[in-house]
Amino acid sequence: MKSRYIFLAILVFFLIFVRIGPDKQPLSQWIKSTSSHHQQQNGHAADDSHAVAHWSYDGEGGPAHWGSLSEGNTLCDAGKKQSPVDLPVTEGACLLPALILPEAPMVLARHYGSVPVNIINNGHTIQLDGNQGGYITLDGLRYDLLQIHFHSPSEHTVGGKSYPLEAHMVHKSAEGGLAVVGVLMEEGAENAFLKPMWQGLPAKADQHFIQKDATLDINALLPGDETFLTLSGSLTTPPCSEDVRWLVMNTPVTLSAQQVKQFATLHPGSNRPVQPLNGRAVFVNQAGTLWMVK
């Protein structure tokens, strides 16, 4: 009997110690950030895994305050290569060959397959599990697809123009490098890729919608024209980590007004404002040739 009291005393001591441990976080939050650590691998929208900062898209947790929400977020304020940005219009523009050898990838090869419908409302966006969905190579270096998520309105703008939705396909190399393929979406014909997901959009944070029988061909999300704009940028959510290779498809795809509404009702204004280029070059990659917009 006595040993049971001693055991209970140790247990209580342990719980108190954890509660006031080094991070001085409430127990519930400590559990949350620990359990979601694996999400950090997802890079981009995984940033909520830091749990610390209750970041959002407006108010006290909004983009203007991201840099001060946590010590890990300083790049959100101080970074010089932040995303998203306003991209140049390429249509009708004078394209000059990129004579100086840039870091931008010359060759993008896509090796996508299909994934089951497995989405989560993570409180900031709708995210599709892209594991097993294939990979891309940039100049021969492989980046595996991790997840696809959405922003409304678009985060990147083109010549100041915003789009109702933008998809981000987050990829990671074995060395930990991140490459995000952005697909801008404009209002028009219904989007067949989104349809199976949009039929079960989870309304609340942490809710899933899974249909293992229904598969999505990742290729179907991309426009036919493979021309893309590329620059070095960052995650568009805290901690705003840099050295993310951005590849934004030059041609938008369409989605219906109803599809825009369905997403925007759940996550309205889920876009970080555009960030200064700070002298970064934006390259246009057309059939493996790099151009600069003049």
Least CB distance from residue 165 to Zn ion, whole Å?
Answer: 11
From the candidates 44, 50, 124, 267, which is the catalytic residue?
A: 124
Q: Is 124 a catalytic residue?
A: yes
Residue 136 or 290: the one with the smaller Cβ distance to Zn ion is 136
Are the C-beta atoms of 235 and 44 separated by less than 8 Å? yes
Cα distance between residue 17 and residue 32, in whole Å: 17
Cα distance between residue 196 and residue 220, in whole Å: 12
Verify binding: residue 168, Zn ion, rule CB under 5 A: yes
Verify binding: residue 156, Zn ion, rule CB under 5 A: no
Cα distance between residue 245 and residue 192, in whole Å: 27
Least CB distance from residue 79 to Zn ion, whole Å?
Answer: 16
Q: Strand pairing of 208-217 and 283-286?
A: unpaired
* Of 121, 226, 135, 237, residue with least CA distance to 183: 226
Verify binding: residue 50, Zn ion, rule CB under 5 A: no
Residue 25 or 152: the one with the smaller Cβ distance to Zn ion is 152
Are the C-beta atoms of 237 and 49 separated by less than 8 Å? no
Least CB distance from residue 1 to Zn ion, whole Å?
Answer: 58
Least CB distance from residue 84 to Zn ion, whole Å?
Answer: 8
**Segment interacting with Zn ion (CB under 5 A) among 16-24, 167-175, 213-221, 223-231:** 167-175
Cα distance between residue 226 and residue 240, in whole Å: 27
**Segment interacting with Zn ion (CB under 5 A) among 52-60, 61-69, 164-172, 185-193:** 164-172
Residues binding Zn ion (CB under 5 A):
168
Active site members: 124
